[in-house]
Amino acid sequence: MGDTLGARLAVGEPEAVSECYRAHVALVRAYLRRFVPAQEVDDVTQVVFAEVWRSRHRFDPARNLPAWLLGIARKRAVDHLRARRPPTVPLEAVAERAGADGRTYGRWLAEREEIRAAMDRLPPAQRQAIELAYYGDLTQREIAERLRVPLGTIKARTTRGLHRLSTLLTPEGG
């Protein structure tokens, strides 16, 4: 059936395309499902068989008809996929989710950088007292012992440093 069908198709016999469709539509659809979304397979299948009709005179009956059909199907699947517009999503829909503290990761990084820059502007003694308290998780008494300075000095450095940080981190006029 395949050889005579191919020969009839090549000479342009009108019924040959219908027979070709009935004989090979399942093969073409199964092949297209590998590339094209399921809801679009029927559309691309119709395009494939329309091209089979238009290019029937180029078919060589000595060749394998199913292989020729699948070659057309592959080309039409590629064309179909290239013509599709990629799905777009509004940026608001993919915005960062807030973390446990209500801030997004990007905002958290920005705030961390602002704090680091403000800390760099503190006098070294104040910066050291704050870093040991907040990042070293030490009490003021432990800081005083570690630095070998009076507890009152550590309290004063911490208080002055935090006040200065507040000034540096508060927007002007805010």
Mean pLDDT of 106-135: 89
Q: What is the pLDDT of residue 108?
A: 72
| C-beta of residue 13 within 8 angstroms of C-beta of residue 56 | no
Domain locations in the chain?
2-83, 104-169
Q: What is the pLDDT of residue 94?
A: 61
CB-based contacts of 157, cutoff 8 Å, min separation 6: 125, 126, 128, 129
Q: What is the pLDDT of residue 103?
A: 65
Express as a percent the part of the chain with pLDDT over 90: 59
Q: What is the pLDDT of residue 1?
A: 43
101 pLDDT exceeds 90? no
Mean pLDDT of 125-134: 93
CATH of domain 2-83: 1.10.1740.10
Q: What is the pTM of this model?
A: 0.49
How is residue 92 annotated by DSSP? G
Closest to 122 (Cα-Cα) out of 171, 152, 159 = 159
76 pLDDT exceeds 80? yes
Q: What is the pLDDT of residue 33?
A: 94
Q: What is the pLDDT of residue 36?
A: 92
77 pLDDT exceeds 50? yes
Q: What is the pLDDT of residue 3?
A: 53
Inter-CA distances, 46 with 101, 110, 113, Å: 55, 55, 59
Q: What is the pLDDT of residue 174?
A: 46
CATH of domain 104-169: 1.10.10.10
145 pLDDT exceeds 90? yes
Mean pLDDT of 133-158: 93
**How far is Cα 75 from Cα 94, in angstroms, rounded to an integer?**
34
